[in-house]
Amino acid sequence: MKGFFWRLVIISITGCVAYVLYNLPYFEYSECYRLNPSVDMDKYMLNRLNNEIRRPITRLTSSRFFRYFRVNKDSECTVLKPQKGCKTVECSITKANNRKLEKDWKMGTNLYPITNAVKDDLSQSATTEANQQQEHLQWMELEDQDFPFVDLELSKQNDAAYNGSNIWRKMHQESAKRTDSMSKLISGLHSATSMHLSQYFFGGEPDYHYPNHTDFNRRVGFHKDRLSNMYHLYHFLLSAYGKMRLDIAADEFIYTHNNKTENDLVKRALKMFDSIFISTEFVPLTEDEIYHTDDKSDFIQKAKPSFQALAQLVDCIPCDKCKVHAKLELSGLSAAFKLIYPEAGLQNLSRNELVGFFNLLKKVSSSIEMYGRWIHFENSIMYSKQVMLYAIIGIMSLLSIVLFIIVGLIAPGKDMTPKSKGYKRPKGFKEA
């Protein structure tokens, strides 16, 4: 019985250790929300579309026309108590050579059809008239005049170790109290921004950023509604592009003055993007999907004041880079509103709004691609940890088998054969 006891001890210890290992926090893994094919088919379709247009939109926004954004980074905060400014290198921006850019975009408040003006010599009166016609369409104050250009390629959005939760909270409150539609779009914008901050998380040293998976799950990954709203924003922007694409295909607009070569390059890049967009057979949002519980007739009346209040809140951001990107994204959202709600067309967009629109489209597109990368990362980590866990349990099982055999040799059980000492034959037993 002695050998049997030690065998039982080995089996018990092996089982207990395997159970403890299996439940160690290191081997536990919390996954972000995963798309469900049965209920998230629209998001699957957007993922497939995004795989097609992500590279073209990245190439488009890297071009000179879409690389520079005119902005007032020193706008004063009028709605909140001013916060202490961010003085770190991560908060700084890179300004462009205004003198060179002014030459090409000296009339650059609006885009003009060729039929409305001489191609390279627009009069000041034509500019003024166009601006006056736009006033009733504006969703936010334009910052196209007398402000510096920012180089977006050298001022990319990343985590600047600045906590903007207070501003975001105010923006969510403002958007939610007026319309459900606006609330979903701002939530989607927040999710896309958070995705970038997690992907380029500040590492404690200047210009050192790394992907932070824990931060991603905390900000976005564990929240199904935030991910859904990010996809909704992407669908909304693509639906807005569908409204303007016929104007782009018409080849009637001047994008860059005094620089015919660049004007042709912008047209060519936009047409290339448009051709790929058409090939995806994109299905735009329906009116019910856009307006949700809001009534179409009074949506603009409610949404415009809300949007303008959001623009005022952005002025209160003390981080220069964060403020520039917030204004860039609101400019892009303003363009989308102009296209979808008043159905204005390309001629009613400012250059800043067009730049903001395509950069916002690129940002949300890359955020969706980052979401896919995070899922792939989780799958690889989960697989490697499972392999490690099962390898450890397998090795322990082999060791327990070896010990099992050794114990059997050292402490064998009693031999109960007829030849063993002390064996008593049963009563009435006769040998053959």
Q: List the single range of 56-70, 158-172, 396-410 with lowest mean pLDDT.
A: 396-410
Cβ neighbourhood burial of 270 (10 Å; 0-12, 13-18, 19+)? buried
How far is residue 67's CA from residue 56's CA, in Å, rounded to a whole number?
15
Average pLDDT of the residues in 251-257: 73
Question: What number of H helices and E strands is found in the chain?
Answer: 14, 6
Average pLDDT of the residues in 96-124: 51
The pLDDT, as a whole number, for residue 417 is: 46
This prediction's pTM:
0.79
Residue 212, pLDDT > 70, answer yes
The pLDDT, as a whole number, for residue 219 is: 92
Return mean pLDDT, the chain: 77
How far is residue 225's CA from residue 172's CA, in Å, rounded to a whole number?
14
Residue 126, pLDDT > 50, answer no
Q: What is the pLDDT of residues 335-386, one digit of tens each?
A: 998 888 765 566 678 888 889 999 999 999 999 999 988 888 877 776 666 6
Average pLDDT of the residues in 272-291: 87
Greater pLDDT, 58 or 143:
58
Average pLDDT of the residues in 64-70: 88
Greater pLDDT, 219 or 432:
219
Residue 414, pLDDT > 80, answer no
Return the exposure string of 193-224: e unless at least 16 CB atoms fall within 10 Å of the residue's CB, then b.
bbbbbbbbbbeeeeeebeebbebbbebbbebe
The alpha-helical segments, DSSP class H, found in 250-350 are 260-279, 287-291, 296-314, 320-340
Average pLDDT of the residues in 283-302: 78
Residue 213's pLDDT band (cuts 50, 70, 90): confident
* Closest to 355 measured CA to CA, from 326, 335, 373: 335
CB 309 within 8 A of CB 141: no
CB 311 within 8 A of CB 295: no
The pLDDT, as a whole number, for residue 116 is: 37
Residue 418, pLDDT > 90, answer no
The pLDDT, as a whole number, for residue 118 is: 30
